[in-house]
Chains A and B, each alone.
Chain A
Amino acid sequence: MSVSQNTKHTCYHCGNQCNDEVVALNDKHFCCSGCKTVYQILSENDLCAYYDFNEHAGISPNKNIRADKFAFLDNEEIEKKLIQFKDDKQTHVTFYLPQIHCSSCLYLLENIHKIDSNIVVSKINFNKREIFIVFNHQKINLRKVAEILASIGYEPLISLQDTSQIKKKISRAKMYKIGVAGFCFSNIMMLSFPEYLSGKSFVEPELKTLFSYMSFVLSLPVFFYSATEFYTSAWHGLKNKYLNIDIPVVLAILLIFFRSLYHLFFLNENGYFDSMSGLVFFMLIGRIAQDKTQQYLSFERDYTSFFPIAVNKLFDKKFKPTPIEQLKENDVIQIYANEIIPVDAMLSKGNASIDYSFVSGESAPVSANIGDIIYAGGKQTGEKIELMVLKPMNQSYLTNLWNKNNQAGKETKNKFVDKLSKNFTIIVFAIAGIAFLYWVLAGKISVGLDVITTVFIIACPCTLLLAATFTYGNMLRILSQNKVYVRHYNILEKINEIDTIVYDKTGTLTLSNNVAINYVGEELSDAEKIYIKSTASNSKHVYSKSIVQYFADNDTIEIANFKETIGKGIEAWIDEHYIKIGSPNFFNKTNEHHKNIMYVAIDNKLIGYFITSNAYRVGFSSILKSLEKKYTQVILSGDSIAEKEFLEKTLGKNVQMLFNQKPEDKLQFIQQLQKNNHTVLMIGDGLNDAIALKESDVGIAITENNNNFTPACDIILDATFFEKFQKLFLFSKQGKRIIKLSFTFSFIYNVIGMYFALQGLLSPLIAAILMPSSTITIIAVTFGLTQYSAKKEELLITKK
């Protein structure tokens, strides 16, 4: 193994650029020893096929993982909560591994028995990114299993939510319903076929009667089982005094079914069972896309999914992992670097440097002194600290904040489709009424009654509803291919009503883990650059890392007497020079409070400073500019006012900006907008935005790397989509247009049908042909048009 310098390689394991160091082994280069170790484990266990499926598939293991990180899994109480099954030999457990992303992951994790033969079964659920493991607990324990996974880069994410909630069972009911409806529908179609082809004479009357009764029998499972989906939804709507999309559907189903019964038993004619089961079948299919999205994503996450399951608590001079719900006042707990503090507590030992970005959105760490109060939700960024618990978890400031606004989920109404179908229903009622009146006046009441029901069957808003369901269903599918996951199709409609967009700054407009840095001051010689870089490379602080990146082209050299003062700065000796880098405070400039300035001194001579700023997402200004004309835009930031000037310069005066916003302020701001009749879309990321996202009409959570660390919201948007953010609006608008267009189609069918129906001339033949053909046309038209508009907006992703 040799460490070479200054040659650009990509890591064989993870594909990252090898920046600081290159570790070579068997002509392969690695960006860090962590990646090399994983490679060694894999090659020792004959698992190198991992690299054949996908190039650079590897995940760089977490370097900062401490040896006893998973010690809490030794705690029996915690173990009991996590495992699913245990007998005298085997234990079954499921872990969530957010790193799973490709077929190589699948290969490696399912062959994990080669690394440790005590793992008997490992099975991946790729969509949920979960691994199901069966292991022999006489040989290894749960902690060891977690450590094996972490050692190859797949560190299990174990959060408080894993214990507090009973695992949501996947509902497969809709799939069964579709299966049953499809079966019945196709068989009824087959039975009705003779009738489509020609009138009454073709089939012998006995056979025809038999076929009719068979259709009836086959329609029963559709009516009593498959369609229950719509009954419950319609009932829910009625109970809440709200006309939802399913009420007309149920009306249509009931009408067709009972009219068909009447035809069958009193007139001895074939009914419209095919239409009814077809309607149910297609409507169910249209809704499956939405179901799929919801199955694997949780839109209703709460703070517990951010919290650890256990912390180290002091018992008679020894720290032992303890479930956090057992923490009481005055307990002493230990928090390691990069761990979240689960309770409100007082600092009793160590240097705290707390990142409150979950809670307040402020990204720069806040340092605290002994005796200071640290709130739940903060993340310790420095060394190990000890804290004294002030309040149990369920009474913390954060929990209160969460619960205060945790009202019942908002109704998702779809005004456009509802209005359309309502108007449509009223028109149909009017036409039917007038026709009935006409026939009554003409003295033919029986014809009148006949006309009424036919009009309803022909002109029921089914095609319209189908159009809406299919258009939105396909749109959801296309969007989820773009990694935009929408909770409910009504949300797409709601986007069209938006007039105000509220952005969170930290983590939304800016990248969450990237700090842009700039040097201001005397020009640096190459030697000085090397000194500064070498000093910074010894520190793990975010700013130091950015300095190292800033001088990417320079080398590093050996340094001596390195010293880091947490929250202040770093110092070191190199070649008889004394290098000092740090905050104004570190240089005793106590009256300066710029958090984002780091002074640099060589041999106690101040030569300049680094100024840091959050790195903004690529193209954010052009996105905001492109939305400027149609929407009022506001930036709410938990951060200090420092970047106002920059933002105003890039975005102009049309974007309103508010700084130092606490979570409650954001919530109030949204409420104020809504009071003034604005429809608000908010896009944010962390827990600090959670309550405001919930309050806004459409809440979008942006996420950097995995599906699950998002607050409750309506849409989960992958950060890679942000560049095309404005397309979400354009695409939703297209959707509305498509529905209007397909409505025109169904209207034409309705006019033709109505022409016959009003005269009392509509034969079962025409009805039977008209209804399925209109259904199929609508489906084809909506599908084709959504695909087309997706292509136009460059949202179409074709699978290779």
Chain B
Amino acid sequence: MLVIIFLFFCSVLVAGIFLFAFIWNVKNGQYDDEFSSANRILYDDKK
């Protein structure tokens, strides 16, 4: 019984970490411009 409750809090915590990561990404502007980042990584000779 107790383990289910414990597991539940664990899962919420893990999901919470992802939510935090998502909000962080959005705040950083990673979703503002999908084109540049996707292409930028392909240019190998950049300093």
Contacts and interface: CB of A to CB of B under 8 A. Distances in A.
24 contacts: A49-B43, A107-B43, A110-B46, A125-B33, A125-B36, A126-B33, A126-B35, A126-B36, A128-B33, A172-B26, A172-B31, A176-B23, A179-B22, A179-B23, A179-B26, A183-B15, A183-B18, A183-B19, A186-B15, A187-B11, A191-B8, A204-B1, A207-B4, A214-B8
Given A179-B22, A207-B1, A111 B46 contact: yes
A180 B4 contact: no
A287 to B, nearest CB: 15
Contacts of B42: 103
A190 interface: yes
A214 B18 CA distance: 19
Contacts of A180: 19
B32 A127 contact: yes
B32 A170 contact: yes
A190 B12 CA distance: 10
Interface of B: 1, 4-5, 8, 11-12, 15-16, 18-19, 22-23, 26-27, 29, 31-36, 39-40, 42-43, 45-47
Closest 5 CB pairs of A and B: A126-B35, A183-B19, A103-B39, A175-B26, A126-B36
Contacts of A110: 40, 43, 46
A170 B26 CA distance: 11
Nearest to B26: A175
- Interface footprint category on A: 20 to 34
Contacts of B4: 207
B31 A127 contact: no
Contacts of A204: 1
B1 A187 contact: no
Interface string A185-196: 011001100000
A89 to B, nearest CB: 19
Interface string A96-108: 0000000100110
A49 B26 contact: no
Interface of A: 49, 103, 106-107, 110-111, 113, 123-128, 170, 172, 175-176, 179-180, 183, 186-187, 190-191, 204, 206-207, 210, 214, 295
Q: Which of A103, A128, A206, A214: most chain B Cβ within 10 A?
A: A103
A180 B20 CA distance: 9
A773 B39 CA distance: 39
Nearest to B37: A126
A191 B7 CA distance: 12
B39 A106 contact: yes
Contacts of A187: 11-12, 15
A111 B44 CA distance: 12
A43 to B, nearest CB: 15
Given A111-B46, A187-B15, 7 more contacts: A106-B36, A107-B43, A123-B36, A126-B35, A127-B34, A175-B31, A204-B1
Q: Which of A49, A106, A123: most chain B Cβ within 10 A?
A: A106
Contacts of B46: 110-111
A311 B39 CA distance: 39
Nearest to A174: B26
A187 B23 CA distance: 17
Contacts of A170: 29, 32
B36 A124 contact: yes
B5 A210 contact: yes
A117 to B, nearest CB: 11
A187 B27 CA distance: 23
Q: Which of A175, A191, A295: most chain B Cβ within 10 A?
A: A175
A103 B35 CA distance: 8
Contacts of A176: 23, 26
A84 to B, nearest CB: 15
Contacts of B5: 207, 210
